[in-house]
Amino acid sequence: MKLIKLFFLSFVLLGTPQAISANGANLNCVEILDLENSKVEKSLIGVWSYEIENSPFNFEQGKFFITERDGETTVALQLDNGVITAYDVVVKDNKIWFNINNEGLKKVSILLVASGDLLKGEIYSEDTSYKITAKRIIF
């Protein structure tokens, strides 16, 4: 039942007209990954509540959704005014990398490492990096 709720939530959020689709440069670390052997670690699937330490971004806390369908991983961040869809999503073991466009223009790269129901990592912008933590709220 939880899996059905997750897919329903992600379908509703990703299908909204407010979703921001993005295409841009690849994440720098993507080139060093063995993409043929990459697959979504089931421990990454879910809805996560996140917080960015000392964040200047307009999404310093909120929720994001990690789903997998037909072997493709998707990530979406839920904001007060809509949804940002991640691009260049790469999964390797218990790690996930993806990019988003902040305010439509600025590329932000996010790297997260899973440990049970917690994710920890960093957000990299053109200026600096910030720590991010997340806790799973729905499986």
**CB 111, CB 28: distance < 8 Å:** no
Tell me the CA distances in angstroms from 20 to 57, 74, 85, 136, one per residue in order.
Answer: 16, 13, 6, 23
Q: Read off the tokens for 35.
A: 């993409």
pLDDT in tens, 94-134: 999 999 998 777 899 999 999 999 999 999 988 889 999 99
Q: What is the mean pLDDT of the chain?
A: 75
pLDDT in tens, 80-98: 888 999 999 999 999 999 9
Edge-to-edge strand ranges of the sheet holding 82-85? 82-85, 72-79, 61-69, 46-52, 129-138, 118-124, 106-115, 95-102, 87-92
* Rounded distance between C-alpha atoms, residue 90 and residue 81, angstroms: 26
Q: Enumerate the β-bridge partners of residue 107.
A: 101
User: Which CATH superfamily hosts domain 2-138?
Assistant: Quinohemoprotein amine dehydrogenase alpha subunit, domain 2 (2.40.128.120)
Handedness of CA 50, 39, 90, 131 (dihedral sign): positive
The whole-number pLDDT of residue 2 equals 39
pTM, full prediction: 0.69
Q: What percent of the chain has pLDDT over 90?
A: 50
The whole-number pLDDT of residue 27 equals 34
The whole-number pLDDT of residue 32 equals 32
Residue 27 CA from chain centroid, whole number: 13
Where exactly are the structural domains of the chain?
2-138
41 — pLDDT class (breaks 50, 70, 90): low
Q: Read off the tokens for 108.
A: 């932000």
3-state secondary structure of 59: coil
Above 60 in pLDDT, residue 48?
yes
User: How many helices (H) and strands (E) would you count in the chain?
Assistant: 1, 9
pLDDT: is 69 or 12 the higher one? 69
